[in-house]
């Protein structure tokens, strides 16, 4: 069975704080792909990053960074110097090579106040 767990339901920070969103996944497949999506108040899902199971290199994109660790089945997302515009629901998702669809976690609601 495949599963994605985002244990943090809600996180509140003040602007300029760093924040890490946790994601733990379960799969028996050796080839799989991990994703992060952002859902702003408008509701549309915005793609942030894709990582395959053979690439454990961490990635940085501006204030965003991702830490993929197969040993702990985690794919955590860090926002550095958070801004109010970062307020949104963030979803971690998993898709195996043989799977039919993306499996989503329940999401983490991030609130950044000024």
Partner 1 sequence: SQTIHQWPATLVQPVGSPLSLECTVEGTSNPNLYWYRQAAGRGLQLLFYSVGIGQISSEVPQNLSASRPQDRQFILSSKKLLLSDSGFYLCAWSVGGAFYGYTFGSGTRLTVV
State the maximum Cα–Cα separation within the chain, in Å, rounded to a whole number.
Answer: 44
**Is 35:92 a contact under the CB 8 Å cutoff?**
yes
Query: With contact defined as beta carbons under 8 Å apart, do 79 and 58 qualify?
Result: no
Interaction between residue 62 and partner 1 (CB under 8 A): no
Decide whether 36 or 79 has the Cβ nearer to partner 1.
36
Contacts of 52 (CB under 8 A, 6+ apart): 31, 32, 33, 34
Q: Shortest approach of partner 1 to residue 23 CB, angstroms?
A: 12
Q: Which is nearer to partner 1, 12 or 52 (CB)?
A: 52
12 contributes a contact to partner 1 by CB under 8 A: no
If the CB atoms of residues 32 and 66 are measured against partner 1, the closer one turns out to be 32
Does 64 engage in binding with partner 1 (CB under 8 A)? no
Phi/psi for 98 (5° steps) reads -95, -5
- Nearest to partner 1 of 80, 87 (CB atom): 87
Contact residue for partner 1 among 1, 30, 42, 61 (CB under 8 A)? 42
Residue 82 DSSP label: -
Q: In the window 66-105, what residues touch partner 1 (CB under 8 A)?
A: 91, 95-105
């Amino acid at each position: 069975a495949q599963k994605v767990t985002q244990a943090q339901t809600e996180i509140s920070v003040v602007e300029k704080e760093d924040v890490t969103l946790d994601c733990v996944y379960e799969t028996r497949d050796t080839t799989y792909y991990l994703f992060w999506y952002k859902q702003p108040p408008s509701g549309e899902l915005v793609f942030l990053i894709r990582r395959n199971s053979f690439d454990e290199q961490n990635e940085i994109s501006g204030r965003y960074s991702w830490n993929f660790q197969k040993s702990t089945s985690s794919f955590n997302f860090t926002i550095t110097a958070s801004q109010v515009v970062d307020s949104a629901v963030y979803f971690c998702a998993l898709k195996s090579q043989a799977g039919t669809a993306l499996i989503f976690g329940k999401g983490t609601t991030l609130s950044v106040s000024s």
